[in-house]
Amino acid sequence: MLEENESRILSPFARLSSRTRGRERSEEPCPIRPVFQRDRDRILHSKAFRRLIHKTQVFLSPWGDHYRTRLTHTLEVSQIGRTVARALRLNEDLTEAIALGHDLGHTPFGHAGEDVLNDIMPEGFSHQVQSLRVVDLLENNGSGLNLTQEVRDGILRHSKGRRDFLSPDETDAPLTLEAEVIRAADVIAYINHDIDDALRAGMLREGEIPPECSTVLGHTHSSRISTMVFDIISQSLESPHLKMTDRIHTATLQLRDFLFERVYLDPLTLGEMEKASRILKELFAYFIHHLSEIPEEILRVNTGSDDKRAVCDFLAGMTDRYAMMTFERLFLPQPWMIF
């Protein structure tokens, strides 16, 4: 019944659950949930998803209760993505599954951790590739989640770095319009919530936001998001690809560049990130010579692989606080319990 509803209601550009490219391992269909809803549920119940609550978004282990973490970022991406998908009559279950899974492979300490592992690993490291590795292999005690090809593709292709998130690029074009939605929702979410957090932290003042961006996008957190989302929806109706007006698209990219200059590459931020980088470098150097201390399921998954791969999987899965606790246990003097 739900699949019939999709075929009747959704846009011709939506990916119908009944037309999925399927899973790597065939399964009996669920009598209640279409395939993308089932994928969403598997991601939501995974250990990697739960760990996002203690992984850095921008600010490392902030004391304030209202700063974003990787988990709250993921939920905001999901909300924005679903709003766009619903308005464009796309598959909300597919959109949400991609959103909830897109950052599962993110390292502790945000992009600082990603940079460390990228420098160490011979083949490099990117969080989107690691996210796919999590759902394909590392979760479920080495069996993976056996997700559909559409969700896997959306996770892998959700980020274009600092490149234009809307520009057509056939080399990494996602399979579905739902994946394009999450690529845009990711950027909209982090631009706006990172500004909000930077204002809360005192790194920015409202008046420092470029006036040419505020004039076009709005002067508040909610108005900027609303402007970007409404523009995408109004320009993308009955279109096979996402679009924005040149005016709002340009202002969005300018605001992202401002964030890199004033927040992500600020000396204070970089100083804290350098401390975090040293922690991961020391942990990598330790565990490459103490493989027996890595969890057995990670070692089993990496049987026959380079030892670096097992250490990388272990460190990438750590939360910020677990990485710091492990570093403290291994390298800092511990108080003697004398009674």
CA atoms of 317 and 301, how far apart (whole Å): 14
Token digits for 237?
Answer: 């109706």
Encoded amino acid at 58, one letter: V
- pLDDT, tens digit, 9 for 90 and up, residues 80-106: 999 999 999 999 999 999 999 999 999
What average pLDDT does the segment 155-166 reach?
89
Burial environment of residue 250 by CB neighbours within 10 A (0 to 12, 13 to 18, 19 or more): middle
Indicate whether this model's pTM tops 0.85: yes
**What's 138's DSSP letter?**
I
Q: Which residues contact 110 (CB under 8 A, 6 or more apart)?
A: 55, 56, 57, 58, 60, 70, 273
- Cβ 82 vs Cβ 185: under 8 Å: no
Token digits for 186?
Answer: 């990711």
Compute CA distances 225 → 62, 79, 191, 231, 242, whole Å: 24, 11, 9, 10, 16
Question: What pLDDT was estimated at residue 220?
Answer: 95
- Cβ 85 vs Cβ 9: under 8 Å: no
For the chain, the domains span 2-263
- pLDDT, tens digit, 9 for 90 and up, residues 131-155: 999 999 999 999 999 999 999 999 9
* CATH H superfamily, domain 2-263: Hypothetical protein af1432 (1.10.3210.10)
3-state SS assignment for residue 268: helix
Question: What pLDDT was estimated at residue 159?
Answer: 87
Question: What pLDDT was estimated at residue 63?
Answer: 63
170: confidence class by pLDDT, cuts 50, 70, 90: low
Compute CA distances 15 → 94, 220, 321, whole Å: 8, 34, 39
Half-sphere exposure of 75 (CA within 13 A, CB side): 9
Question: For residue 130, is pLDDT > 70?
Answer: yes
- pLDDT, tens digit, 9 for 90 and up, residues 301-338: 999 999 999 999 999 999 999 999 999 999 998 877 66
- pLDDT, tens digit, 9 for 90 and up, residues 24-78: 999 999 999 999 999 999 999 999 999 999 998 876 665 667 788 999 999 999 9
